[in-house]
């Protein structure tokens, strides 16, 4: 086994105890944010949380100073859960986020990152081995300038041999949990049935949370079919991609989006309908995604502080449920249409 740096373990106990407290909210907007516990972890997190994938330039080039301001704006307005991955921008997102976190009180946020998906020189790579998982955790600690990770996830398990995740990746992360390097362990995937497959085959309390994306949004609410199952296991539910990776946005989908053409066109029609009503579909999408208290938090990503402020404002306003019905009627038989991850 590689000699991992030990400095991350020193003082962890004290800092970990501090991090379990709710953040000190400093303005009126922050006080309106709702907070829900992720399963049985003790982490009470904001209903809307900050996903840091945009900091890696995943969607377009970023202005780093503006990206840092986006993080500060999120935390200052009550978002106390931040999610990232080494994969986003091939380590860039963690590096940029680490610069921001260096200037934020560690007690004001919970940090979630991942293992399994990586990349270098524009080439995606995957490695779910126990050794690489542990090595990756320590590398993330270095990039993020933190001493422990609140939630470590196995990233996009569908790209792995699921049995390797069961027998190798998760036991390695549980060892780090026992050592205090990470506080909680979760798994993520686009396909919820993969999450259930793994949970059914590991000891109780191995997996404390699941992160599933694009399955609780205006065009797809399939995640509700799994609520009872996850809750019966004491597992917290994290939702991500309320805009369905651009389907539910005026800007539209990027060229690489894997959704079928009929679904893309239906969502474009729904977007125009909302625009005609003077109600941006992005606003409706955010409001819908956070509307179910059985979901602990929903992650959105932006490297633009103005967009962060706008989404926070959306959260504070009441949702138009009649418009939700109209949008879902327009989407029609394309609702719950699925696609493969990429």
Task: Enumerate the active-site residues.
Answer: 88
Pairing status of strand 297-301 against strand 123-126: unpaired
Measure CA of the first residue to CA of the last residue in the chain; give whole Å. Answer: 32
Using alpha carbons, list the distances in angstroms from residue 182 to 73, 94, 173, 293: 26, 16, 8, 26
- The DSSP result for 227-258, as a single string, is HHHHHHTT-EEEEE-TTGGGTTSSS---TT--
**Phi/psi of residue 240, each to 5°?**
-145, 160
* Angle made by CA atoms 53, 284, 276, in degrees to the nearest 5: 120
Residue-wise over 175-201: b if at least 16 C-beta within 10 A, else e?
ebbeeebbbbbbbbbbbbebbbbbbee
Which among 286, 302, 313 is positioned nearest to 78, based on CA atoms? 313
What letter does residue 165 receive in the DSSP assignment? I
């Amino acid at each position: 086994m590689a000699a991992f740096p030990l400095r991350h373990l020193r003082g962890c106990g004290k800092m970990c105890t501090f991090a379990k407290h709710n953040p000190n909210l400093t303005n009126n907007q922050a006080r309106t944010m709702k907070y829900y516990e992720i399963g049985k972890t003790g982490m009470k997190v904001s209903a809307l949380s900050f996903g840091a994938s945009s900091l890696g330039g995943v969607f377009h080039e970023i202005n780093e100073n503006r990206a840092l301001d986006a993080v500060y704006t999120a935390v200052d307005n009550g978002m106390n859960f931040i999610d990232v991955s080494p994969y986003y921008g091939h380590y860039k997102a963690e590096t940029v986020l680490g610069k921001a976190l260096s200037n934020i009180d560690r007690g004001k946020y919970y940090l979630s990152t991942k293992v399994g998906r990586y990349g270098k020189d524009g080439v995606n790579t995957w490695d779910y081995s126990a050794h690489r998982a542990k090595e990756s955790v320590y590398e993330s600690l270095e990039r993020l300038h933190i001493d422990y990770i609140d939630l470590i996830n196995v990233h996009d398990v569908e790209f792995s041999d699921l049995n390797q995740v069961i027998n190798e990746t998760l036991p390695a992360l549980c060892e780090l949990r026992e050592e205090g390097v990470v506080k909680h362990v979760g798994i993520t995937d686009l396909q919820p049935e993969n999450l259930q497959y793994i949970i059914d085959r590991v000891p109780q309390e191995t997996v404390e949370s699941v992160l599933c994306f694009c399955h609780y949004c205006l065009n797809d609410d399939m995640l509700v079919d799994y609520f009872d199952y996850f809750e019966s296991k004491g597992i917290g539910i994290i939702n991500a991609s309320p805009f369905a990776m651009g389907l539910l946005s005026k800007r539209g989908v990027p060229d690489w989006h894997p959704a079928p053409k009929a679904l893309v066109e239906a969502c474009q029609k729904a977007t125009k309908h909302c625009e005609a009503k003077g109600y941006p579909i992005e606003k409706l999408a955010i409001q819908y995604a956070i509307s179910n208290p059985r979901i602990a938090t929903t992650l959105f990503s932006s490297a633009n502080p103005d967009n962060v402020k706008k989404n926070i404002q959306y959260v504070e306003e009441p949702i138009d449920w009649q418009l939700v019905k109209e949008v879902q009627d327009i989407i029609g038989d394309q609702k719950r249409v699925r696609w493969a991850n990429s």
